Amino acid sequence: MSKKWSIERTLTVITILAVFILWFGLTATGAFSETIIPSPKSVLESFLDVARDGYKGHTLIQHLLTSMKRLVIAYLLVVVTAVPLGLLSGYNSKVRAVLEPIVEFYRPLPPLAYYTILVLWMGIDEESKLALLFLAGFAPVFINCVSGVIRINEDYINGAKTLGANNKQIFFYVIFPAALTDVFTGLRTALGVEYTTLVAAEMVAATAGMGWLVLDASNYLRSDIVFMGVIIMGITGVLLDWLIRLIESTVVHWKGKK
């Protein structure tokens, strides 16, 4: 197992190095303008400048924390609503018949398609931004939870009934543990979807946030700052996903074991 992990980590490091070497090579040739593909040196200098002097009145940490605050609040709302509703919908076909059409209707819609409606309803402050992120993350968690419950082997439920378990006991001791793998798959997917929606959420009446920073820098063709912001968002996204996988490995400790 250790050898396997060692090989995988080596391949990961090689891949990352190859991307940076390719990036450096493309910019070193001078074939591309700095506006199109900024050099690693330009991006690093922009990072140091923004980290030292800030950008448009806010420090880099403030931009990052503003986005993380929006993301985390919306994500926690998704966890406390989509998980129980998804599990309940998978367990009860009547509840699923009510909720599933609504989720399936808005799920394929681009976030910007209904963001204007949210702004009309909630205004241009934080409420509409949080609602957009919440809706973006709700659908994948709900769908995965429903799928996880539906796919549970019927023999497990029948066996619990045979042993005298009531519906509540079946739900908490059979269905919930069996669906946890799908629940965490939905949570990981939702985090990615919410992060990709962050730029859209910070397009209206925002003055801080990583998504806003990237969008504002693009308006002035500051591709060095755009690259910097994208890299920071990518790194923080990887770290957040790693945190969820760490929690999953602790909670669903039987995953991958036979």
Residue 119, φ and ψ in degrees, nearest 5: -65, -40
- Residues near 212 by Cβ (< 8 Å), separated by ≥ 6? 63, 199, 202, 203, 206
Please give the share of the chain, as a percent, with pLDDT higher than 90: 55
In the Cβ-directed half-sphere of 233, how many Cα atoms lie within 13 Å?
A: 26
Answer whether residue 116 shows pLDDT above 70: yes
Q: How far apart are CA 258 and CA 250, in angstroms?
A: 17
Residue 165 three-state SS: coil
- Mean pLDDT, range 159-165, rounded to an integer: 82
Q: How far apart are CA 232 and CA 14, in angstroms?
A: 20
Do residues 39 and 31 make contact, with C-beta atoms less than 8 angstroms apart? Answer: no
Strands (E), 180-246: none
Which tokens is 240 given? Answer: 């957040």
Q: What pLDDT is recorded for position 207?
A: 83
Task: Give tens-digit pLDDT for 182-208.
Answer: 999 999 999 999 988 988 888 777 888
Which tokens is 68 given? Answer: 């993380």
- Mean pLDDT, range 107-111, rounded to an integer: 88
* CB-based burial, 102-111: b 16+ in 10 Å, e otherwise: ebeeeeeeeb
- The whole-model pTM stands at 0.85
Each domain of the chain, given as residue ranges in start order, spans 1-32, 38-251
Architecture of domain 38-251: Orthogonal Bundle (1.10)
Answer whether residue 6 shows pLDDT above 80: no
Which tokens is 108 given? Answer: 């394929």
DSSP code of 153?
Answer: -
Do residues 215 and 202 make contact, with C-beta atoms less than 8 angstroms apart? Answer: yes
